[in-house]
């Protein structure tokens, strides 16, 4: 069973945590201030975008400084009574085996006041009575519901991790996995994830599953991906939901249109639901969702839209009854990947179709369907006639190369070069290993 890289390569010490040097130092100094007694601010609030290292910084600091870490996800422990019993009890009890205790309330801004208005007062009471450091994390520190907590806390801001800090950290991680990633590909993954290290690592594990070399061509379609926080979190909310409400909320987690989200769920259902009966039920739910979505668009019957959402989220989630729990990397939708890779080519065909259509009084689509195959054949077999047609249609060089097939030939040659280079590197490594074995 594969282990998530975010778990396998979790930083053990503060020096291993990538980026945010000033934030790490400020937090470490606040922790050390407890050695002289409780500081004026008995709690710290680490805030910043997802994947910037807030939680791992607390875990690494606890490991560095010898604290027993009590970690609680505040958004899971939804009621004030639960938080008071778990966090309050840990914060007011004595030391365990002579070791100091550190309380972490993760995702404090995920508390749902609609379910229990007593959650925030319970956290405030815990902070006021605490005999040990309490750390809160939040993506949005200015959320009005946590304002009373913010005023009690020492604030530490975590910023998105830049390329300068990301690349060395990721290179070290990839080296430990014996994986070679093209520099351009690595920078594209970092750029598309906007400094979210957790998403970057998840992407790298997903893209390199089953391979040891990752090229730019393997990830260039990433420019199609729309993301607000991470589509992976939204998918996990579907496939690992405990109830229908939790699954239904997944549509609010990622800023992607519903058609794209449907493609993600459809692509990953066979990977996440390994029991045939579970998968069959999930596919039935997705087929119904597809019918609702198509009828909603065709008939403009928007009252059907909620049914589509329910089927593709709650319907899929509740089908998981027999599948054994396991971590499996999420995969980008192959259909969307294919569309992305051919996006430029399709745009070129459409532009050529528009030029042919202007001369033949057809739509762009009609010209592509009825005339493009013949024009392409002429370009590949009769250069003189092709030149005259190019002038008549006012085609540019790129359009002419596409029709003559030269663009495809050039692309094939470009693909051959990296393949030959990889084979040479693999052969060199093999020879090196044999020499070392012979020498020993």
DSSP, residue by residue, 93-118: S--BTTB-EEEEEE-GGG--TTT-TT
Backbone angles phi, psi at 360, to 5 degrees: -110, 5
Residue 208: the pLDDT is: 82
User: How many other CB atoms are there within 10 angstroms of residue 147's CB atom?
Assistant: 11
Distance CA(440)–CA(438), nearest Å, equals 6
Select from 422, 13, 52 the least CA-distant residue to 218: 422
Distance CA(120)–CA(255), nearest Å, equals 28
Sign of CA dihedral 55, 58, 61, 62: negative
Residue 316: the pLDDT is: 93
Residues ≥6 apart with Cβ < 8 Å to 429 = none
Contact (CB, 8 A) for 16 and 216: no
What is the residue whose two structure tokens read 């493009």? 372
Residue 350: the pLDDT is: 86
Q: What residues of the chain score a pLDDT lower than 70?
A: 1-2, 74-99, 112-117, 221-230, 252-257, 336-343, 406-423, 440
Residue 254: the pLDDT is: 58
User: How many other CB atoms are there within 10 angstroms of residue 291's CB atom?
Assistant: 14
Two structure tokens written together for 177: 């996995």
Name the DSSP class of 37: S
Select from 233, 193, 211, 219 the least CA-distant residue to 330: 233
In sequence order, what are the beta bridge partners of 156? Answer: 46
Give the CA dihedral 348, 351, 353, 355, nearest 10 degrees: -140
Contact (CB, 8 A) for 189 and 200: yes
What is the residue whose two structure tokens read 């990752």? 214
Rg (CA), the chain: 28
Distance CA(412)–CA(41), nearest Å, equals 63
Residue 3: the pLDDT is: 76
Contact (CB, 8 A) for 262 and 286: yes
Residue 228: the pLDDT is: 41
Report the half-sphere exposure of 63 (CA within 13 A, side-chain side): 14
Two structure tokens written together for 66: 């010898």
Helix segments in 212-254, DSSP class H:
231-239, 244-248
Contact (CB, 8 A) for 224 and 191: no
Residue 229: the pLDDT is: 46
Specify the pairing of strand 101-106 against strand 68-73: parallel
Name the DSSP class of 52: S
């Amino acid at each position: 069973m594969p282990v998530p890289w975010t778990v396998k390569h979790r930083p053990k010490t503060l020096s291993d945590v990538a980026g945010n040097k000033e934030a790490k130092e400020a937090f470490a100094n606040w922790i050390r201030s407890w050695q002289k007694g409780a500081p004026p601010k008995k709690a710290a609030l680490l805030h910043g975008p997802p994947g910037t290292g807030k939680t791992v910084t607390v875990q690494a600091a606890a490991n560095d400084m010898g604290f027993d870490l009590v970690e609680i996800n505040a958004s899971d422990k939804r009621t004030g009574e639960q938080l008071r019993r778990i966090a309050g009890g840990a914060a007011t009890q004595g030391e365990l085996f002579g070791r100091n205790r550190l309380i972490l309330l993760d995702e404090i801004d995920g508390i749902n006041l609609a379910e229990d208005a007593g959650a925030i007062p319970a956290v405030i009471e815990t902070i006021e009575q605490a005999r040990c450091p309490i750390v809160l994390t939040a993506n949005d520190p200015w959320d009005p519901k946590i304002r009373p907590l913010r005023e009690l806390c020492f604030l530490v801001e975590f910023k998105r991790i830049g390329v300068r800090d990301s690349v060395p950290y990721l290179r070290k991680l990839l080296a430990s996995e014996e994986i070679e990633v093209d520099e351009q590909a690595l920078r594209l993954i970092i750029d598309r994830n906007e400094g979210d290290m957790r998403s970057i690592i998840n992407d790298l594990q997903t893209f390199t599953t089953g391979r040891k070399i990752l090229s730019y061509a393997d990830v260039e379609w990433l420019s199609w991906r729309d993301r607000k926080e991470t589509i992976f979190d939204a998918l996990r909310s579907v496939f690992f939901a405990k109830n229908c409400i939790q699954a239904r909320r997944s549509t609010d987690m990622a800023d992607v249109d519903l058609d794209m989200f449907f493609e993600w769920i459809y692509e990953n259902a066979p990977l996440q639901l390994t029991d045939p009966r579970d998968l069959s039920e999930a596919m039935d739910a997705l087929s119904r969702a597809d019918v609702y979505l198509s009828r909603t668009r065709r008939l403009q019957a928007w009252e059907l839209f909620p049914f589509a959402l329910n089927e593709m989220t709650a319907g899929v989630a509740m089908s998981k009854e027999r599948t054994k729990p396991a971590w499996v990397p999420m995969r980008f939708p192959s259909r969307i990947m294919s569309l992305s890779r051919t996006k430029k080519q399709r745009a070129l065909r459409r532009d050529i179709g528009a030029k042919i259509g202007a001369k033949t009084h057809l739509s762009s689509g009609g010209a592509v369907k009825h005339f493009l195959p013949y024009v392409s054949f002429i370009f590949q077999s009769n250069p003189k006639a092709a030149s005259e047609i190019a002038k008549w249609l006012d085609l540019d060089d790129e359009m002419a190369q596409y029709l003559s097939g030269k663009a495809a030939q050039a692309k094939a040659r470009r693909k051959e070069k990296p393949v030959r280079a990889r084979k040479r590197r693999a052969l060199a490594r093999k020879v090196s290993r044999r020499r070392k074995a012979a020498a020993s």
